[in-house]
Structure 1
Amino acid sequence: MDQDQRQRTLAWHETLELHELVAFNSIGLVKVKKGLREIQDPQLQTIYQQTIRELEMSLQELLQFYPLAPHPGESSEYRQYGDSFLAGDLLAFAKASVRNYAVAITETATPALREVLLKQLNQSVRGHARIYNYMYQKGLYPSYNLNLLLQNDVNLARRAMS
């Protein structure tokens, strides 16, 4: 692949990472916007407002790369329901949980703590599989349809920014 082609098309692996970031930031943006309504402290409100602006800018910047993503097959309409958002939020939490336990284990010197963390890591992996399988079976996470996966991200990001 020559340099011109690389500049017009994202690689598959970076497209999937882009997808993960857009989905994670979109869910976070919705949660931060909802949380802002509950905050009484003016300083914390300012922090939340800055976070909202930064997340919106991040999404706008990331979405600019979507036209460069590879597009196999055909795309279809995104199904956006309340359960869809909540399931996606749980999936993002499950992924973060697996990563956090894996990192914590590499920092653990005490064997008894390592065993507990390993047990909880395995539990987190099973939890991730449980929510992923649910979402896949319900058509909420089309992991084998890249076009639909990316269109879902765009729709979620737009909804979060509106």
Structure 2
Amino acid sequence: MRETRPNQLAWHETLEIHELVAFQSVNLMRFKHAAPEVKDRMLQALYFQTIKDLEQNIVDLLQYYPKAQEAGERGDSYRELDEGYYAGSLLGFAKSSVKNYAAAITETATPQLKNLLANHLTKAIQCHTKIFNYMYERGMYPAYNLDRLLKHDREMAERALRFRN
């Protein structure tokens, strides 16, 4: 007998969408801020196309939030988004650094370079941990409260969509 799919997202789907919305919202604001400063018309056109695509991506993904499973207690504490934006941007960078170094190590045959990259990976992991702890301790990253995490995503995404420079 086949299992019927519930009318909600699986946990892992919810968390993947959270990662995508958070990452794209932070970068959408960054790109909107940077685009007017770009002087080369072709490059600026690429920025504007990327902005348009990210806006649509976020709108598309947010449609799935009502299907996210509810978990944990609901929290109403509000955090200033600017502080969260900067911390989230730093966290996203650290996370990408960990992934990039891990991938680079698998492509490296030279022992000295592999050791150097492994040392850099360790520093990137430590950096990520410090930034995560900073955010978690200040309520900016409610990692263990899915409802608050998704609420924060929505706030950040809506702010990114409204942002005009």
Q: TM-score, normalised by structure 2?
A: 0.93
Contact 1:75 1:151 in 2 (8 A): no
Task: Measure the CA separation in 1 of the matches of 2:22 and 2:15.
Answer: 11
Percent identity between the two aligned chains: 49
Task: Measure the CA separation in 2 of the matches of 1:104 and 1:30.
Answer: 29
- Determine the structure 1 residue equivalent to 2:54: 55
- Unmatched runs of 5 consecutive residues or more in structure 1: none
Tell whether 2:59 aligns with 1:76: no
Root-mean-square deviation over aligned CA pairs: 1.3
- Unmatched runs of 5 consecutive residues or more in structure 2: none
CA-to-aligned-CA distance 1:84-116 (integer Å, 9 cap, x gap) = 111000000010000000000000010000000
Alignment of 1:7-86 (within 5 A): 8-77=7-76, 78-86=78-86
Contact 1:142 1:149 in 2 (8 A): yes
Alignment of 1:13-162 (within 5 A): 13-77=12-76, 78-162=78-162
- Determine the structure 2 residue equivalent to 1:2: 3
CA-to-aligned-CA distance 1:27-84 (integer Å, 9 cap, x gap) = 0100000001211111111111100100000001111110110012343344133221
Contact 1:33 1:52 in 2 (8 A): yes
Q: Which moved more, 1:76-85 or 1:99-108?
A: 76-85
Partner letter of residue 103 of structure 1? A
Q: TM-score, normalised by structure 1?
A: 0.94
Length, aligned pairs only:
160
Runs of 4 or more above 6 Å deviation: none
Task: Measure the CA separation in 1 of the matches of 2:149 and 2:80.
Answer: 12
Contact 2:72 2:145 in 1 (8 A): yes
Partner letter of residue 129 of structure 1? T
